[in-house]
Amino acid sequence: MRLELRKAKISGLQWGSPTRVEDHVLYVDKAALLEALADDRITKWDADLARPGESVRIIPVKDVIEPRVKLEGGESYYASVIGPNETVGNGVTLALDGAAVVTVGPIMAFQEGFIDMTGPAAKFSPFAGLYNVVLLAAPVENLEKHQYEEAMRVAGLKAAEWIAEQCKGAAVDETEVYEKGTVAEELAKYPDLPPVVHLCMCITQGLLHDTYVYGVDLKHCLPTLLHPNEVLDGAMVSGNCVSACDKTTTWHHVHDPVISQLYKAHGKTINFLGMIPTQESVVLAGKERASSFNARLAKELGAKGVIITEEGYGNPDTDLCMNVDKCEALGMRTVVIADEASGTDGASQGLADATPNLTAFVSCGNVNEMIEVPAMDKVIGYIESIAHVSGGAAESLRPDGSMYVELQSIIASTVETGYNRSGSLWV
């Protein structure tokens, strides 16, 4: 597969018609954008803008998506969700680098969070450094939460592709090429390099805890293999409502730093075979089944090393330990990237489960660490949501608009692919 990712750098954001990129400023036609999002489940769409350094708080956040569109090698982006049922990872993709679409709405209450565009919380989230088009939706009366989530998820993806579609003529500032053959081809090409896979654990724990691979909810799938180009080109979409700090957004999937770092080492120090996206089950039988398939698939591919990333904490820590144990039992060395829930004083056990085989651990931070954030001049969304967010409480919001919360209430503050400033893989 050969993927050419063309990046148009965005360093400004304004409303304007037509939607375009001009001198690195993204202009968005607000009326045309909202018209493109028509949905019978939503009575009213609205949109706002948030730029780096502004005194703006966005709450509660559902997902973050980078504006992207296929230029060659595909009809649409985010295949099988808003695009056709086709594989991705080949051809040419345009990305508006530095811009994002952020969806906002009280869908799952305690498993949402916030983004501050400035102040102490901003340093914990990559999204504070992006030029964000924020979508808000008022649902029809008595709309079920899963229907509200779907409407917001699809709208975010549509908006991101629609914006990029209007900007197909934007000047390209940087081009990245990702090219790698099949597993068999790469094993033949680099017989002396240790083969490595990325085992990507995804939230799949019941209603609204969903991760989609080619439009299919991963909780209904056995583990599979993806070429890394497929992940970088929109094959995986977030539909999850996990604690905000752990949320692997759709933006994170196409910017997966584990894939990027392994790609850089491919053919030099390792042989990068690909990614295995896998579920985190709510029942013991599901955990046993998935972990067994994960280890067997990695072994069948010829892996000698497995990089395991988690999503969430608590219950998924058992899946994490099972994956480590079963890979190690088959002779594959493992490295885990995850966060910790060590209590506000940092003195508690970091993971809810343990195994002596877990000997290589990269910590993305303690989700329970407390942080004080000042009031912002502007709030986009629903500030009262902090009362229900994990890491927040009714008393978190003070009369002056400041908040005292746990780190886990900040979107992606300890995200377990390592793309955060509490971890080690922010690139």
For Cα atoms 408, 412, 416, give the angle at the middle one, nearest 5 degrees: 95
Enumerate residues 6+ apart whose C-beta is below 8 A from 283. none
Dihedral, 350, 356, 357, 359 alpha carbons, nearest 10: 60
CB 348 within 8 A of CB 342: yes
Dihedral, 380, 386, 392, 398 alpha carbons, nearest 10: 90
Residues facing 64 on adjacent strands: 102
Residues facing 213 on adjacent strands: 216, 236
- One-letter amino acid identity for 268? K
3-class SS at 180? coil
Burial class of 38 by CB neighbour count within 10 A (0 to 12, 13 to 18, 19+): exposed
Residue 187 region by backbone torsions, left for phi larger than 0, else alpha for psi between -120 and 50, else beta: alpha
Tokens 């102040």 locate to: 119
**Residue 143 DSSP label:** -
Question: Which residues are part of the catalytic machinery?
Answer: 241
Question: In this structure, is the dihedral angle defined by the CA atoms of residues 138, 139, 142 and 145, taken in order, positive or negative?
Answer: negative
Residue 359 — φ and ψ, nearest 5°? -115, -10
